[in-house]
Amino acid sequence: MEIFAPDALEREKHRKIEGLKELPGDTDSVVLRFAPNPNGPLTLGHSRGVVINSEYAKMHGGKVVLRFDDTDTKVKPPLPEAYQWIEDEYEWLAGRPADVIVRASDRMPVYLEFARKLLSEGHCYVCKCSAEEFRKYRESKVECPCRSKSVSENLSDWNSMNNGEFGEGDAVVRVRTDMTLPNPALRDWPALRIQHSPHPMVGGRYRVWPLLDFQSAIEDHEQGVTHIVRGKDLMDSTRKQTLLYEHLGWNYPETLYWGRVKVHEFGGFSTSSMRSSIETGEREGWGDLRLPTIQSLRRRGFDARALREFWIELGVTQKDISVPMQTIESMNSSVLDAKTERRSFVASPILLEIKGINGTVVESPRHPDGEIEGFRTWTLSNSIYIQQTDCGNVSLRLKEFADISISGSIGKIESIERSDDRPIVQWLPKEESCEANLYVPEGDKVNVIDGLLEDCDLVVGNVYQLERVGFAVLEEISDTGVAKLVWLHS
């Protein structure tokens, strides 16, 4: 029977399947969500959430809710501009906009109403213990005195919380679970607290704001979320929220977890610490070349497809990992190489006089493998530039042109055809070049390399591959004709 390729059957288990593993549970109409705090723009870390959720939605024909978790007015307050940034960055990363967009701060009436309902049903209570006092109760598995208050007393305290009678820290709403639960994190966890500082988007309208576990749990249900993919640091959140869902008679969504990711070059991705580095002036802004923000990566010329491939390749595993930027760069190179025109960039240029080449026309391909058709055409005078670092050689091959010998600042043509295996270097005729500064982020610094860029059909915003140097974005050309290049990678 098995005459044909039994080997192929045997190898089945060996083959690595492409893409993400299927989502568990019922996948008939999948609703996922991506829920960032808009206290800054998206980082490389957030891009995992965008990519994984949007890919799963694509895979199962589902939807993604982009939800702004902006219910903290104090510790990590929202940045008003960030809402739009994040919507745009989401679309760039996912390749399409989010299906639904909600702001937690717009949904406050819903959360407050659920809190009141839970209070009146006895599933929550207003706790007036201080954080330190409650910690002792939690650690010793003892119920706090507030737990035994009547419903009417709780509702009256709830009113005091909302009407400003209670100050910040005076009271908190807790979900009644069980103080003897083995996991201390789950014991009567806090659901809402008082914050009097105004919210940047909705002002001073509310005095009581929900905490993540409460807001997220309610909103996931309201939006019909079927699958949650989150960091495994939120495993206890799932457990807390499941206890709340039990009070409400709801079923908790399927939940997947991923581990912590660090990129060698950046470490973790803390929005708050980036924000402070900008405020102190250590960084120029969210698009600073040294920052792991999506703004910065976009600016440097990373392609969203490379980021997508990267996160899909890592998949959703619970391992804590640390990856080198090189992995992303290598994926970016394979996306970009075929569609990037070549240009000559000569760093620290040295002038060379060559007699008898005036008027000669040199043609170089826009892409060496013909992926992009056409040529860059130069008309020479007798002056050309080569890179200082190439001057140590007496014999050079000027790429696509001629073999030369150098003596001092004079070059002499030895052969138009390639005659030996002397080094091939990129070069530029004086008339075909413009001044250029290449900005290269390196650790805490941004190095600026002065040089000349080939001035041929330059389009601001394009990524070019600078021959023998690497990929860079032409960010702008000044009024005086100086090109600003931003380094991508080699």
Judged by CB under 7 A, which stretch of 49-57, 87-95, 113-121, 332-340 contacts RNA?
A: 332-340
Q: Is residue 454 within the footprint of RNA (CB under 7 A)?
A: no
Nearer to RNA, 134 or 286 (CB): 134
Q: Is residue 337 within the footprint of RNA (CB under 7 A)?
A: yes
Nearer to RNA, 289 or 331 (CB): 331
Question: For tokens 């109403």, what's the residue?
Answer: 113
Q: Is residue 363 within the footprint of RNA (CB under 7 A)?
A: no
Q: Is residue 193 within the footprint of RNA (CB under 7 A)?
A: yes
Nearer to RNA, 202 or 235 (CB): 235
Q: Is residue 373 within the footprint of RNA (CB under 7 A)?
A: no
Q: Is residue 35 within the footprint of RNA (CB under 7 A)?
A: yes
Judged by CB under 7 A, which stretch of 57-65, 177-185, 196-204, 446-454 contacts RNA?
A: 177-185
Choose, by CB under 7 A, the member of 24, 95, 203, 368 that binds RNA.
Answer: 368
On whether the CB atoms of residues 257 and 318 are closer than 8 A, the answer is yes
Number of residues that bind RNA (CB under 7 A): 88
Q: How far is the CB of 480 from RNA (least distance, A)?
A: 29
Judged by CB under 7 A, which stretch of 85-93, 112-120, 327-335, 478-486 contacts RNA?
A: 327-335
Count of residues making up the chain: 490
Nearer to RNA, 96 or 135 (CB): 135
Q: Is residue 48 within the footprint of RNA (CB under 7 A)?
A: no
Nearer to RNA, 184 or 481 (CB): 184
Q: How far is the CB of 411 from RNA (least distance, A)?
A: 15
Which of positions 196-235 make contact with RNA (CB under 7 A)?
Answer: 209, 211-212, 232-235
Tell me the two tokens of residue 62: 């589902």
Rounded distance between C-alpha atoms, residue 450 and residue 298, angstroms: 23
CA angle 173, 175, 181 (to 5 degrees): 135
Interface characters, 399-438, with RNA (x: CB under 7 A): xxx--------------xxx-----xxx------------
Q: Is residue 184 within the footprint of RNA (CB under 7 A)?
A: yes
Choose, by CB under 7 A, the member of 150, 389, 395, 478 that binds RNA.
Answer: 389
Q: Is residue 72 within the footprint of RNA (CB under 7 A)?
A: yes
Interface characters, 249-268, with RNA (x: CB under 7 A): --------x-xx--------
Q: How far is the CB of 317 from RNA (least distance, A)?
A: 4
Rounded distance between C-alpha atoms, residue 325 and residue 321, angstroms: 13
Rounded distance between C-alpha atoms, residue 419 and residue 415, angstroms: 7
Q: How far is the CB of 217 from RNA (least distance, A)?
A: 12
Q: Is residue 2 within the footprint of RNA (CB under 7 A)?
A: no
Tell me the two tokens of residue 436: 């250029």
Q: Is residue 9 within the footprint of RNA (CB under 7 A)?
A: yes
Name 342's Cβ contacts closer than 8 Å, sequence gap at least 6. Answer: 364, 365, 366, 367, 368, 376, 464, 465, 466, 467
Nearer to RNA, 177 or 195 (CB): 195
Question: For tokens 């992995």, what's the residue?
Answer: 327
Q: Which of 467, 476, 389, 23 is nearest to 229 (CA)?
A: 23
Judged by CB under 7 A, which stretch of 106-114, 193-201, 287-295, 440-448 contacts RNA?
A: 193-201
Which of positions 105-164 make contact with RNA (CB under 7 A)?
Answer: 129-131, 134-135, 138-139
Residue type, 317: T
Q: How far is the CB of 8 from RNA (least distance, A)?
A: 10
Nearer to RNA, 315 or 481 (CB): 315
Nearer to RNA, 258 or 286 (CB): 258
